[in-house]
Amino acid sequence: MARLSEWRIAVGLMVHFAMLVHYAHFARAQLGSLLRTTQLLGGFISIDCGSTANFTDPVTSIEWVPDAGYISVGANFQNVALNGLTDITLSTLRYFPTYRRKFCYTLPATLNTTYLIRAQFHYGNYDGTNSPPNFQISIDATITSSPLFTSSAYDPVVAEATVVAQSDQLFFCLLPNSTSDVPFINSLELRNLGINYIYYNLIDKGPYYLENVGTYNFGSDETVRFPDDLYDRIWVAQGTAGYQVLSTTSSINVTGYNRDEAPTKVLQTAQYWNTSVNLEFTNLLATEDLHYVVSLFFAEIESIAATEKRNISMEPGTLNGIGYLDVYNLVGLDTVVEYAWSAAILNSTDTLLLSTTADSLLGPMLNALAINRIYLPSQLRTNLGDVNAIQSFKSSIGLDSWSGDPCYPVPYDWVNCTVNATNGVRISSINLSSMKLIGPIPTSLSSLEGLTTLFLDNNYLNGSIPNQLSSLINLEQLHLQNNNLSGPFPLWATNLTQLEELYLQNNNLTGEVPSLSAFANSSIQILTFGNQLLCNASGCPKTTSNYKFPIAIVVGVVVGVIVVVVILGIIIVCLCQRDSLSPDRDLDEVRDPNQVRAYSYDQVRNATNNFANEIGSGGFGHVYRGTLGDDAVAVKVSKTYTRLDFRQFESEVTNLSRVRHNKLVRLIGYCNHMRKLILIYEYMEGGSCHDLLHGEERNTLNWETRLSIAIDAAQGLEYLHEFVDPKIIHRDIKTANILLNKRNEAKLSDFGISRPILEGGHPPTQVMGTRGYVDPEYERTQNLTEKVDIFSFGVVLLEFISGRDPVSSLGSGHFAYEHVRTRLDARNITDVIDESFGLDYNVDSIRRVGQIAKRCVNPKSKDRPTMTLVLQELCAAKNIERPESSNGRHHAPSAPTLEVELSTTSSHLLPGPSAR
């Protein structure tokens, strides 16, 4: 039984499609003119990924260019081992070491034009791990396949697809399967097939993506591509050794076809058999929703005597009722006939039998074969208006490195999307908190009509809040706090009926804040503190047209003198009443009256109902619940009045007066009265993480909640380290100082021992903190840097994973983080996961957090990550734990193997074929 040359397509997605050859019979002498015309028309784009210079292929004369103009993330590697391979584009690659959900090349296109896209992946053990990564490929919004790497690091994988452009851009994206996978790519090619490609619409729907299973050149030892195939399809040679072959040098007539026929050079050779031959399809893994385009090309290139006949029959099914194909009698010598199934449903055991009729003296023959898998249906892209708006937004704000469709097949890390029957795919949420954005807020955001959440807080944005944002009628949350925004209060916000949160604190806004009754949603929560020129309607200065300057000056001076005298008297009395332990200066010298408010002792006592409701206690003192106006507050009262007490009190007020962040507990006010140091905070009704993890009334927090808490705390700590000048070191990061509200949203608290780090570093300080969380290197050197907080935060992460108290019961002097870290080093992560999780967690998510936690508790502070990197890793872990429901990921079917052997077995190709 004869076999087709050893022919197994085990590469996970060789994708190729029948592309036109109207000009295949043109002389090679005309090649130069055709090549220039094709490339000038944008027909070819050939990208050598990871390279830095152009080069021209000496065989095809195709010009290759670096990929820097098509993608702006990733890193280059330029010494990939070829191990005998001759394609020099495989010697370079671009890889993507920093996790994102997707990495996309942006390719120019023409709407409704058909293109062939081909990518090559040659691992070559470039990273020295001998472990190729796992990732998927998507084109625009549709995941098409996954490269299936063999056990050898030196077997290239080719992915090829035919697609129809849905806009003026095509996105070719790599999607890592996990946060530890690092995708890579060696080359990327785009070939224009025009607008008349035969498979633009299939099965009365469309457009569809075709993935190449294989294009095969029978009767030849030469693989054919450009310039012999003007559209640069690759026709793989099936060889001649051991087979009966035919060949001719005559031109083959290929006119009248729809640009999917094989090129002349392929049709000039053929393989033939004396008896029937059976083509077998294996490993196709087809389903009812997965169809194939199967095209067989026949050109009679052997002169046939009048008494001879070659009637080729293809079973099962008939050809328009004829039952066989007589190529010579049908079209004559040297003219191609294509016999095709445009929507065949293939199973792994299906076969295609080529045989001849009883009166045929010549056996069957075959010149070429093309098989393409149809993806049904192609995924619709995000609303074009939203795509254009987000593209303009990215360009304006410095986010150009984020490319591809913003929502599909997976959204950007900072975008959420929704789908409905009326509006299609729309962007519903943007969260760019703490992204170090600079410049004005882009007005292009106003075109995102489906936007409900917009978080741009904790950046360096400036300018006024655009009035154009008034068109975001579905907006529910607008967070712009902690920027450098100026201009008037956005009065247009009063008309947004869905707006529930408007956070504008710590900017430079001016004017009057309307009363709640002026807003369409009167239950809206508005935060505006930290804007020195912003006032409430009742508190704004009144102006008058009468000029009374002299009287006003006199009254002002008199009142001012009286106030100064009174204050001096009070200060003298207070100083006289202090004992030897009192500090040398009062808090009035350091506080900023524009940030927090000083309360009298009577006001505090009334707010707490004479300190009736104690809710906790700590090293500083007792904590009471109280009420100021309509707001619940937590009031912390010192136990003693020592110099150290005052220093911590002073530090808390000073630091929290100059920093505001929605992940830091807000200091509302203070009171310094007769040996009583009192701090007033916003009330966090959820309590502390420590109590929920280890307290008597333990409320078990599942892994997803703990991870969200960790992200909240990391955002607050990143703000202190990266966005405050000078940066602030907390020095007492622990679960007891992470407080929760009723929605389990976390904030950092207790800044009593925090310290600002001035330029040039901080001199050695007395070591302070909590046993089990304190950095051992800090204990030895007393050198205070932000890495002290990083260590403590790493302990918190390990505490979240294991559920263990930092001070373990393993023995005196041993801490829980040491035990957990050891288990992580030994890759026994399941041994330390908190049993209370049950099965409600993703082990890859916990493993990702465990890895960054290990880096945080590295004994050498210089090897610890920054809080920005820690936050990125936590967000990546959150994406693993709860990926977007609309990400569209799936595993594409594995590539098929096609075998040919002599047989009389029938095939089962459905529905029936057609000939062209």
User: Mind listing the pLDDT tens digit for each residue in 478-503?
Assistant: 999 889 999 999 999 999 999 999 99
Q: Which amino acid is at 92?
A: T
CATH code for the domain of 522: 3.80.10.10
Q: What proportion of the chain, given as a percentage, has pLDDT over 90?
A: 31
Residue 876 located in a structural domain = yes
If one counts the domains in the chain, the total is 4
Q: What is the pLDDT of residue 902?
A: 30
Burial 203-237, CB ≥16 within 10 A → b, else e: eeeebbbbbbbbbbbbbbeeebbbbbbbbbbbbbb
Residues 147, 151, 153, 154: is their CA dihedral positive or negative? Answer: negative
Q: Higher model confidence: residue 543 or residue 97? A: 97
| Pairing of the two strands 336-344 and 291-299 | antiparallel
Of the given ranges (101-110, 727-736, 823-832), which has the lowest mean pLDDT?
823-832
Confirm if 723 and 640 have CB atoms less than 8 A apart: no
Between CA 226 and CA 270 the distance in angstroms is 20
Return the H-helix or E-strand segment holding 425. strand 424-431
**Same domain, residue pair 364 and 494:** no
CATH code for the domain of 641: 3.30.200.20
Q: What is the pLDDT of residue 579?
A: 38
Q: What is the pLDDT of residue 582?
A: 36
Residue 152 located in a structural domain = yes
**Same domain, residue pair 70 and 150:** yes
Residue 564 located in a structural domain = no
- Position 116 confidence tier, pLDDT thresholds 50, 70, 90: very high
| Range 854-858 average pLDDT | 91
Which of 654, 682, 710 lies at the terminal end of a domain, its last residue? 682
Q: Higher model confidence: residue 178 or residue 102? A: 102
Sequence-separated (6 or more) residues with CB below 8 Å from residue 307: 361
Q: What is the pLDDT of residue 913?
A: 35
Residue 721 located in a structural domain = yes
Global pTM?
0.58
Between CA 827 and CA 290 the distance in angstroms is 40
Between CA 679 and CA 666 the distance in angstroms is 11
Q: Higher model confidence: residue 268 or residue 644? A: 268
Residue 599 located in a structural domain = yes
Q: Which amino acid is at 349?
A: T
Q: What is the pLDDT of residue 734?
A: 94
Of the given ranges (295-309, 315-329, 849-863), which has the lowest mean pLDDT?
315-329
Of the given ranges (34-38, 289-293, 404-408), which has the lowest mean pLDDT?
34-38
| Range 885-912 average pLDDT | 33
Q: Which of 477, 470, 556, 550 lies closest to 745 in space, CA to CA?
A: 477
Q: Is the pLDDT of residue 826 over 60?
A: no
Q: Is the pLDDT of residue 703 over 90?
A: yes
**Same domain, residue pair 344 and 434:** no
**Same domain, residue pair 102 and 191:** yes
For 228, the 3-state DSSP assignment is: coil
Q: What is the pLDDT of residue 694?
A: 85
Residue 32 located in a structural domain = yes
Return the H-helix or E-strand segment holding 340. strand 336-344
Which of 636, 661, 682 lies at the terminal end of a domain, its last residue? 682
**Same domain, residue pair 643 and 783:** no
Residues 803, 805, 811, 813: is their CA dihedral positive or negative? Answer: positive
Nearest-Å Rg of the Cα atoms of the chain is 36
- Position 47 confidence tier, pLDDT thresholds 50, 70, 90: very high
Q: What is the pLDDT of residue 150?
A: 62
Q: State yes or no: 663 annotated in a binding site.
A: no
Residue 579: count other Cβ atoms within 10 Å of its Cβ.
Answer: 7
Q: Is the pLDDT of residue 890 over 60?
A: no
**Same domain, residue pair 656 and 712:** no
| Pairing of the two strands 460-463 and 484-488 | parallel
Q: Is the pLDDT of residue 741 over 60?
A: yes
Q: What is the pLDDT of residue 40?
A: 36
Residue 394 located in a structural domain = no
CATH code for the domain of 824: 1.10.510.10
When mean pLDDT is compared over 708-712, 754-758, 810-814, 892-896, the highest value belongs to: 708-712
**Same domain, residue pair 712 and 831:** yes
Q: Is the pLDDT of residue 297 over 80?
A: yes
What DSSP string runs through 452-519? -EEE--SSEEEEPPPGGGGG-TT--EEE--SSEEEEE--GGGGG-TT--EEE--SSEEEEEEPPGGGS
- Tell me the pLDDT tens digit for each residue of 399-408: 988 888 998 8
Q: What proportion of the chain, given as a percentage, has pLDDT over 70?
A: 74
- Position 577 confidence tier, pLDDT thresholds 50, 70, 90: very low
**Total residue count of the chain as it appears in this document:** 916
Q: What is the DSSP letter of 522?
A: T
Of the given ranges (130-134, 530-534, 628-632, 641-645), which has the lowest mean pLDDT?
641-645
Of the given ranges (227-241, 296-310, 321-335), which has the lowest mean pLDDT?
321-335
Q: What is the DSSP letter of 379?
A: P
Catalytic residues: 732
**Same domain, residue pair 288 and 417:** no
**Same domain, residue pair 856 and 808:** yes
Phi, psi dihedrals of residue 233, rounded to the nearest 5°: -75, 155
Q: Is the pLDDT of residue 631 over 60?
A: yes
Q: Is the pLDDT of residue 475 over 50?
A: yes
**Same domain, residue pair 698 and 656:** no
| Range 784-813 average pLDDT | 81
| Range 393-400 average pLDDT | 89
**Same domain, residue pair 691 and 733:** yes
Q: What is the pLDDT of residue 8?
A: 28
Q: What is the pLDDT of residue 503?
A: 92
Six token digits for residue 447? 């075109």
Between CA 42 and CA 109 the distance in angstroms is 9
| Pairing of the two strands 244-247 and 484-488 | unpaired
Q: Higher model confidence: residue 220 or residue 164? A: 220
Between CA 123 and CA 183 the distance in angstroms is 10
Average model confidence (pLDDT) across the chain: 77
Helices (H), 578-642: 601-607
- Tell me the pLDDT tens digit for each residue of 320-374: 334 567 777 777 787 888 777 766 666 666 677 788 877 788 888 899 988 888 7
Return the H-helix or E-strand segment holding 707. helix 703-718
Phi, psi dihedrals of residue 249, rounded to the nearest 5°: -105, 0
Domain interval for residue 504: 411-539
Helices (H), 84-191: none
Residues 216, 217, 223, 229: is their CA dihedral positive or negative? Answer: negative
Between CA 95 and CA 50 the distance in angstroms is 8
Walk across the sheet containing 93-95 and list its strands.
75-77, 93-95, 184-185
Token match 């310290």: residue?
755
Helices (H), 398-454: none
- Position 11 confidence tier, pLDDT thresholds 50, 70, 90: very low
Q: What is the pLDDT of residue 289?
A: 53
Q: Is the pLDDT of residue 302 over 70?
A: yes
**Same domain, residue pair 269 and 211:** yes
Q: What is the pLDDT of residue 510?
A: 93
Token match 């029937």: residue?
276
Which of 622, 647, 682 lies at the terminal end of a domain, its last residue? 682
Residue 909 located in a structural domain = no
Q: What is the pLDDT of residue 759?
A: 57
